[in-house]
């Protein structure tokens, strides 16, 4: 019989924020699949999940390069999917670990699509996880949305104009991947009057956590936040005169 692939969200980085379902899956699978950069073998998801792993579980690292080269990425996805396929067709169950949720800006989405193209007969189950923006909201008691309000989740890699347009139409906006394109993000926040009250949250629920309110003075040269950073932005409200 074929094994099952589990896409497991391990939350923002704290080992006690995994769901009970995630813990039960991790205690049962034979193989742990951990995404890593070709430049190093560090995996934040693996470190987060480690207290819940079986001592005898086999670890298999899958390399996913940090690049936008479509050819390089496709080759990496194919290699990773083939590695997962061999594990599953060998009769072992495997869990692919991902920080946050497996279906929100996650490497797992690429692996899932590629594996379904390559071997659609193999079973896949997905275990949702707590996202970094949910954790940041909880840390700061920030209401994400209520009543008829909207919540938009945006990638910080887009340009200033696109970000400003999205921000302008959202009651609450979450900007993920808020590190490399930080100056453009700050400009978009200023253009929509959101810079004063927005929250910049870095390494949420991890060592070195830093959450600050207000973006004024940020975004200049050299002002890049850490890799795991996000922004929570509530729509400005009109103050009574």
* DSSP secondary structure letters along 42-111: --HHHHHHGGGS-TTPEEEEEE--S---HHHHHHHHHHHHHHHHHHHHTT--EEEEESB-TTSS-HHHHH
Average pLDDT over residues 20-47: 91
Instruction: Return d(Cα 3, Cα 157) in angstroms, integer.
Output: 37
Q: What is the pLDDT of residue 224?
A: 84
Give the DSSP H or E segment for 35: strand 31-36
Domain edge (last residue) among 103, 127, 151:
127
Q: What is the CATH number of the domain that holds 221?
A: 3.30.950.10
The reply to whether 88 falls in a domain is yes
First to last CA, the chain: 70
Indicate if 195 and 227 belong to the same structural domain. Answer: yes
Domain edge (last residue) among 127, 146, 181:
127
Whether 163 and 144 have beta carbons less than 8 Å apart is answered as no
The reply to whether 213 falls in a domain is yes
Q: What is the pLDDT of residue 64?
A: 85
- Dihedral-angle region of residue 105 (phi above 0 means left; psi in -120 to 50 means alpha; beta otherwise): left
- Encode pLDDT of 99-144 as tens digits: 999 999 999 999 999 999 999 999 999 999 999 999 999 999 999 9
Indicate if 169 and 192 belong to the same structural domain. Answer: yes
Locate 111 and state its tokens: 């692996």
Q: What is the pTM of this model?
A: 0.90
pLDDT bucket at 238, cuts 50 / 70 / 90:
very low
The reply to whether 239 falls in a domain is no
Average pLDDT over residues 140-163: 95
Locate 237 and state its tokens: 């409200």
- Give the residue with greater pLDDT, 61 vs 67: 61
- Encode pLDDT of 168-207 as tens digits: 999 999 999 998 899 999 999 999 999 899 999 999 999 9
Indicate if 95 and 172 belong to the same structural domain. Answer: no
Indicate if 43 and 98 belong to the same structural domain. Answer: yes
If we measure between CA atoms, which residue out of 166, 101, 115 comes closest to residue 4? Answer: 115
Indicate if 224 and 177 belong to the same structural domain. Answer: yes
Q: What is the pLDDT of residue 23?
A: 98
Instruction: Return d(Cα 7, Cα 128) in angstroms, integer.
Output: 8
Computed over every residue of the chain, the mean pLDDT equals 92
- Encode pLDDT of 72-92 as tens digits: 899 999 999 999 999 999 999
pLDDT exceeds cutoff 90 at 46 = yes
Query: How many domains, in total, are found in the chain?
Result: 2
Q: What is the pLDDT of residue 240?
A: 38
162 secondary structure, DSSP code: H
Average pLDDT over residues 56-84: 91
Indicate if 63 and 144 belong to the same structural domain. Answer: no
Domain that residue 57 falls in: 5-127
Q: What is the pLDDT of residue 66?
A: 77
């Amino acid at each position: 019989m074929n094994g099952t692939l589990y896409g497991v969200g391990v939350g923002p980085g704290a080992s006690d924020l995994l769901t009970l379902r995630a813990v039960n899956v991790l205690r049962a699978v034979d193989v742990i699949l951990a995404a890593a950069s070709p430049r190093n073998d560090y995996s934040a998801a693996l470190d987060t999940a480690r207290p819940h792993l079986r001592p005898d579980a086999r670890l298999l690292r899958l390399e996913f390069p940090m690049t936008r080269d479509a050819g390089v990425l496709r080759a990496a996805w194919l290699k990773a999917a083939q590695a997962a396929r061999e594990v599953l067709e060998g009769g072992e169950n495997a869990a692919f670990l991902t920080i946050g949720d497996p279906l929100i800006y996650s490497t797992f989405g690429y692996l899932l699509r590629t594996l379904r193209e390559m071997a659609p007969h193999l079973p896949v189950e997905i275990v949702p996880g707590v996202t970094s923006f949910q954790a940041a909201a909880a840390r700061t008691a920030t209401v994400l949305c209520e009543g008829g309000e909207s919540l938009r989740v945006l990638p910080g890699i887009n340009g200033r104009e696109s970000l400003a347009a999205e921000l302008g139409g959202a009651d609450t906006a979450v900007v993920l991947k808020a590190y490399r394109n930080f100056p453009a993000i700050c400009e978009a926040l200023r253009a929509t009057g959101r810079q004063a009250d927005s929250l910049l949250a870095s390494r949420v629920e991890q060592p070195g956590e830093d959450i600050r309110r207000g973006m004024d003075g940020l975004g200049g040269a050299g002002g890049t936040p850490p890799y795991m950073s996000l922004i929570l932005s509530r729509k400005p409200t009109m103050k009574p005169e």
